[in-house]
Structure 1
Amino acid sequence: MAADTVPAPGSDGRLGALYPVLGALSPAARARLQASARWLKMPAGALLFDDRQSCEGFPFVVEGSVRVAKCAPSGRELPLYRVSPGETCIISSSCLLGHEDYNARGVTESDTLLMLLPKAVFDDLLGEPAFRGFVFHLFADRIADLMQLIDEVAFRKLDQRLAALLLGKGHTLRVTHQHLADELGSVREIVSRLLKGFADQGLVRLSREQIEILDAPGLRRLAAGEARHS
């Protein structure tokens, strides 16, 4: 884990505002958490955890975001979810509960400040009803997200998923084909070929690291699996 340990923010109330469950802990539990937690500052693009790495603790993101992805030996990645302030990582909790190593990779997307709760303290806090309910609610939310991802990958064609990804990001997207491929768990060559097809149909206009949406309704029909009308 590439990170700089920083002093606890002290009176900074961001942690409690982002994670109200911490205020519901018993005074003894809160005191142990404050005494044991590590505060880490990580730059954008830093590796927080990796496949087959032991889990060091339970992270609470206060600033920035972490992108969690499943990695193949070929180097391809399938994004699973992002952890933003106020959220936490189901894979970390799963590894801690099951005493297993990580089976995915977490990379910071921007400068990130997080609080890492050591495993022993995490285990103790599971005895607190509020914290245990928080962890189980996290599982329910993330599993619902992952089921939606499975549905996307298994039952929607890549061109539909790409069309959906382009929508809702404004008239002009300043993004590389590689970035879109990473978001879709695909490869740049396939995404570039699909984008060229979109351009040939008049749906988009392509230029260097930029995509201009020309026919948003057409993209919506494509994303929905409807045939495009000439």
Structure 2
Amino acid sequence: MHESAMHETVWFERFPALRAIDDAAGQRILRAAQIVRVPAQTTVFESGAVCRNYLLIIDGTVRVQQLAVSGREIVLYRVGPGESCVLTTTCLLAHSRYVAEGISETDVVAAAIPAAAFQDAMETSEGLRRFIFAAYGERLAALLRLLEEIAFERLDARLAKRLLALGSDSPHIAITHQALAVELGSAREVIGRMLKHFAEQGWVTTHRGEIEILNRGALCKLAAEE
């Protein structure tokens, strides 16, 4: 899965802040990065596993999700091009294991910095250390916004918001009730009842494995409600 070190101009386009790292230690560590290619629908990391690399996503998307004791799943966040994984950073900083799993939703290309090199960066490279903490802060803020939504927003408003996001390019959304439930951390039956209500209002229509948005304005109004 690993290839030879990627030339800096290829992945610095996704992470322009890395160009500002001019200390010798930081440049040496960046040169140790390897290209990692992961096919779609592959487990990138799993709960309980040791973190072996700091990944910088160049292309593709990784979905990070957690399984509760009750058996219910929830999507915590996605990591896309130009981003790093907040959970991976946490594991490397705390020398802890993963508490969630990461699945590649598409083919993924990433730059992988080995865990030992990451620890070296934290100790010897001020430039890389600033980059790592800046990226960590951005991703952590996004995760906190998700927790705020779960704690304080109504589920029907969150469902409307998610449908609008998924249907931003087309009113036809290829997704199952179960997949939507995982996205929102709810039960399939609950999501099914809400979609039935949406359909009765004329906002959406549902088919097997697909939802079609009929009234985007009504969903926008609901999504804006607290």
TM-score in terms of structure 1 length: 0.87
1:140-159 → structure 2 map (5 Å cutoff): 140-159=137-156
Post-superposition offset of 1:212: 2.0
The count of corresponding residues between Structure 1 and Structure 2 is: 221
1:171, 1:46 → 2: CA distance? 28
What is the root-mean-square deviation in Å for CA atoms of aligned residues? 1.9
**Residue number in structure 1 paired with 2:110:** 114
1:48 matched to 2:44: yes
- CA distance in 2 between partners of 1:104 and 1:85 (Å): 20
Secondary structure of the residue aligned to 1:167 is helix
Structure 1 unaligned regions, length at least 5: none
1:1-43 CA-to-partner distances (Å, cap 9, x unmatched) read xxx223334x472211112233324245323432x33322111
Q: Which residue number in structure 1 is paired with residue 160 of structure 2?
A: 163
1:184 is matched with which residue? 184
Shift of 1:196: 0.8
Match of 1:97 among 90, 93, 96: 93
Mapping of residues 20-99 of structure 1, within 5 Å: 20-23=16-19, 24-34=21-31, 36-99=32-95
- Contact 2:164-2:216 at 8 Å conserved across structures: yes
Identity of aligned residues (%): 39
Q: Which residue of 2 aligns with 1:136?
A: 133
Letter in 1 for 2:68: A
Structure 1's 45 and 25: CA in aligned 2 closer, same or farther, altered over 3 A? farther
Give the counterpart letter for 1:158 in structure 2. Answer: L
- Taking structure 2 as the reference length, the TM-score comes to 0.89
Note the C-alpha offset of 1:154: 0.8
> Which stretches of structure 1, 4 residues or more, deviate above 6 A after TM superposition?
none
| Residue 99 (structure 2) pairs with residue 123 (structure 1) | no
The one-letter code sitting in structure 1 at the alignment partner of 2:197 is: G
In structure 2, the CA distance between the partners of 1:28 and 1:215, relative to structure 1 (3 Å rule), is closer
Residue 219 of structure 2: aligned partner = 219
Residue by residue over 1:163-193, the C-alpha shift from the partner in whole angstroms, topping out at 9 and shown as x without a partner, is 1111242322232222212211223222122
